[in-house]
Each structure stands twice: as C-alpha cells, then as structure tokens.
Chain A
Amino acid sequence: MTQINFKNQRYTVTANNDVLTTLLDAGEKIPFSCRTGSCQNCLMKATQGTPPETAQVGLKDTLKAQSYFLACQCYPQENLEIDLPNTIDTRYKSRVLEKQWLSDDVIQIKLARPKNFNFRAGQYLTLWKDEHLARRYSIANLPDSNELEFHIRVFPQGQFSSWAAYETLENNFLEIQGPIGDCFYLEDAIDADLVLIGTGTGLAPLQGILSDALKAGHRGRIDLFHAGLNPHSLYNTDLLTKYASEYDNVFYHPCVLDKAGVVDSRVEYLEGDISDVVFEKFPSMVGKKVYLCGDPNLVKKLKTKTFLLGANSQDIYADAFEPSHC
C-alpha cells in the first residue's frame, strides 16, 4: 500500500486501486474520461517520487521528462506527491537587471534567476507586474545562467508590455511563477533533424531550444525559421547569423512577408508566407522533430501541415501564444 499526497491531503492507495479511482472516491475533482489510458484527460504530475512507467505509456517525451502520468493507469510503487498539470503555486521574487530594445516593437528584459528556480530552455512562466496584472513569457536562455531572458512584444495598448517598455524597471522586483510548457529539447533527439519555426517573439523559446541543442552537441541538422512582417519586425538576426556561421549543422532562415526594400548584404531574407516558405524548402517532414512557437493561428496551421507532410504527432512540439483577455 502506498500513499499519495494531493493538495496537502494524504490518501492511501489500496491494492489494485489506481490513483484516479482513489482520488475520485475521496471526493476530489479530477478531469477524466476513458479510464483506459487513451484520452489523457486525467493527466497529472508527480512533484515528489517517480510514477511507474506503465502510467506514462503514450505520453509525449517532454511530458514524461517532467514526471507527468495518467492517473487512471497509475498503481504507485512508492509514495508520491502529485498535482494537476500546469499548477505551480510557488512564486519567486526576481530583480530586473537590464532592459533593451531589440526591434521597433520588441524589448528584451533580463531578470536575476532566483536560486532554486529551475527550468528547461523553451519553457515559459508568468510574470506578475502586481497582484492584478500578469502575463506569460517564454524564457530565451539556458538554465545554467544566473539570468532569465525574455522577449516582450510591445503593444501600444498593452497594459503589461507598455508598462514594461516605458517605465523604469531596472532594480525593481517582479514576481515570477512557473515554469510551464512541454516544448523543449531532449537529448534523445541528438541525431534527429530539427526544424524550428517561430513568428514574432516566438523566437524566444526557439532561441533557448537552439542553445540547448547546441550545448548537448546536437549532431543532426537544425533549421531555424523566424517569420515577421518585414525585416524591421525581425530581431537578433546578427546573433542567429553568427550561430549559423559557427556551426555547420545550423541554418538560419529569416522570412518576411515583404522585404520592404531592405537590402542587407549580411542577411538573406526569404520572402513569402511562412507556411509556404518552410514547405517549399522541406516538402517532406518525415522523421523530423518540429518546434512551433508564436501566433496561435499560424502555429495551428503549421502543426497540421507538418503532420500531413509526414512528421509524427509525437515529434511536433508547439507553444501557441494565446492572446491575453485582461
């Protein structure tokens, strides 16, 4: 008999009983549907202890890596502390170190990484301005740094982004909450060809994923597409061009709808809709691992197209930036 701890309540899992049944019988509200391990509605996360492998069958590798499991298939072999997915209550205070403009409408801010705040490159977190206003942003750098780097698109009417852009932030403390997200690099992908596609500040998580892959000594090919309206809406082109020249297996493809007359001998812009441009270059996506970040409509479109062109659903990692409604 093992015990599970859920929201500070302790439950005993009796022999031949699964975690879902145990929690439901105790009156806890846990989403579920099929109870056979296929619908994945009862997805939960172990925050302490290791869930049995049989409770992780069929889950995406990035979920397994974060100790996610299916409650209906979970017959624990050891005591577990568990929670529902994407609920991380702990907040950390973090000092703003610096701020700079990356393009006409994107700022970069760097925060001090709090001790004990661990994440995987490509994940995101919630940044709190105060008790009433918060936004989610992706972390653009690697976890071994003492900093957390964010790219924030500035909207003229954006409550959070215009505050971040135009007020003095340096040395202020912000609260951060997270990390969340299952769009990141795992070392078993070391020989696979990776295709990274981001629109706007969707570059932030991809920059983290790219750095992570390079740090792991990635051996497959890496193609990074960064899409924007015109050359002025892209940023970090110098940094990405440098990566591409330093690493033989890295290819950087800045992609714009309209070149807007910009001529830059150092950067070769592809012109057209990103969802056409990528697949003109890669008519087959069989065997590739694909990372999609940014505008939700484009992410959805690219996801479907990538899948139809042969990528397995398990190999498509997506982070759609849903707009805020407050």
Chain B
Amino acid sequence: MSNLYERIGGDAAVNAAVNIFYRKVLSDDRVNAYFDIVDMDAQIAKQKGFLTMVFGGPNHYSGKDMREGHKHLTGLNDSHVDAIIELLGETLQELGVAESDIGEIANIANSVRDDVLNR
C-alpha cells in the first residue's frame, strides 16, 4: 500500500483542499480572529505547508517551527485546535477522502497540538 500522501493524491490534493479548508477557517468565528488576512496569498501558501505536513507529504516543518509560529497568539487553547481538526475533516469529506485516511490525517494534526499551544 502506498503511503498516505500518495494515496490521497499528493500535491493535487493539497491544491484542491487548500481553498476549501481556508474558506472554512475564515468563515468560522471560533478561529478566524487568529488568521491574518492582510496577505491572503501568503496565508494560502502557509496553509499549503500545513496541509502537506498533515497529509504526510514532504515538508520541513518541525515541532519547533509550529511552536515559534504560534506562540505570539494569545488565548490559543485546545478548543481552537479541535476546531481546526474538525474543519480539516469536513474539507477532506467534501473531497471524498476515505474515513480511515481522514483519521490518520487528524492524528498527524493532533501530534503537533502541544507545540502549537506551546506547552
């Protein structure tokens, strides 16, 4: 069996998911205050990096990067991480990704929770 990233479609899957996912994030009052929309293209690029990571693709994001990238955000807590994982799951369902793969992706996202929350 091929690895997760290849199975769900690699870079093409990232490109398909990023618009849907980021649209959900910006529309969700639980989390949208944390997303700077001054430069949407830069944000989309960041989200693509995040999606590549959680899809198990080639990336150089480390736990340290996730910690550095989020520690200036005050008030960030578990509920926000939960919301992001939920929106990620909805995105993948819309794209017809298998439930077992969605579970695996959620696990990868969950694995950086402590880094994101700086604890």
A residues engaging B (CB < 8 A)? 34-36, 38-40, 57-58, 60, 300, 303-304, 307-308, 310, 312-314, 316
Specify which of B11, B27, B42, B60 is in contact with A58 (CB 8 Å cutoff).
Answer: B11
Specify which of A35, A300, A308 is in contact with B60 (CB 8 Å cutoff).
Answer: A35
Once bound together, how far apart are the Cα atoms of A303 and B44, in whole Å? 13
Would B52 and A36 count as touching, CB distance under 8 A? yes
Would A303 and B23 count as touching, CB distance under 8 A? no
Most chain B CB inside 10 Å of its own CB: which residue of A36, A300, A308, A316: A36
User: Would A58 and B38 be within 8 Å (CB), given that A36-B58, A38-B59 are in contact?
Assistant: no
Is B107 located at the chain interface by the 8 A CB criterion?
no
Interface residues of A, dominant DSSP:
loop
Is B19 located at the chain interface by the 8 A CB criterion?
yes
Hey, which chain B residues are within 8 Å of A40, CB to CB? Answer: 41-42, 45
Would B49 and A308 count as touching, CB distance under 8 A? no
Once bound together, how far apart are the Cα atoms of A35 and B23, in whole Å? 26
Q: Min CB distance, B76 to chain A, in Å?
A: 21
Hey, which chain B residues are within 8 Å of A60, CB to CB? Answer: 41
Hey, which chain A residues are within 8 Å of B44, CB to CB? Answer: 313
Would A34 and B40 count as touching, CB distance under 8 A? no
Hey, which chain A residues are within 8 Å of B49, CB to CB? Answer: 34, 36, 38-39
Q: Min CB distance, B2 to chain A, in Å?
A: 19
Specify which of B23, B42, B61 is in contact with A34 (CB 8 Å cutoff).
Answer: B61
Ranked 8 nearest A-B pairs via Cβ: A38-B49, A40-B45, A38-B48, A313-B44, A36-B59, A312-B19, A39-B45, A35-B60
Would A38 and B40 count as touching, CB distance under 8 A? no
Once bound together, how far apart are the Cα atoms of A34 and B11, in whole Å? 15
Q: Min CB distance, A12 to chain B, in Å?
A: 25
Give the number of residues in B that approach A within 8 Å (Cβ atoms).
23
Q: 18 A-B contacts, Cβ less than 8 Å apart?
A: A34-B60, A36-B59, A39-B46, A39-B49, A40-B42, A58-B11, A300-B38, A303-B40, A304-B26, A304-B37, A304-B40, A307-B19, A308-B23, A308-B27, A312-B19, A313-B19, A313-B41, A316-B40
Hey, which chain A residues are within 8 Å of B26, CB to CB? Answer: 304, 307-308
Is B22 located at the chain interface by the 8 A CB criterion?
yes
User: Would A57 and B19 be within 8 Å (CB), given that A36-B60, A39-B45, A308-B27 are in contact?
Assistant: no
Q: Min CB distance, B41 to chain A, in Å?
A: 7
Number of residue pairs spanning A and B whose beta carbons lie under 8 angstroms apart: 53
Would B22 and A313 count as touching, CB distance under 8 A? yes
B residues engaging A (CB < 8 A)? 11, 15, 18-19, 22-23, 26-27, 37-38, 40-42, 44-46, 48-49, 52, 58-61
Hey, which chain B residues are within 8 Å of A313, CB to CB? Answer: 18-19, 22, 40-41, 44
Once bound together, how far apart are the Cα atoms of A322 and B41, in whole Å? 17
Once bound together, how far apart are the Cα atoms of A40 and B46, in whole Å? 9
Hey, which chain A residues are within 8 Å of B52, CB to CB? Answer: 36, 38
Q: Min CB distance, B112 to chain A, in Å?
A: 15
Once bound together, how far apart are the Cα atoms of A303 and B23, in whole Å? 12
Q: Min CB distance, B53 to chain A, in Å?
A: 9
Hey, which chain A residues are within 8 Å of B27, CB to CB? Answer: 308
Hey, which chain B residues are within 8 Å of A314, CB to CB? Answer: 19
Once bound together, how far apart are the Cα atoms of A310 and B27, in whole Å? 12
With A58-B45, A307-B40, A314-B19 known, 11 other A-B pairs at CB within 8 A are A38-B45, A38-B49, A38-B52, A38-B59, A40-B41, A40-B42, A57-B11, A58-B15, A300-B37, A303-B37, A308-B27
Q: Min CB distance, A207 to chain B, in Å?
A: 24
Question: Which residue of chain B has the shortest Cβ distance to A35 in the bound complex?
Answer: B60
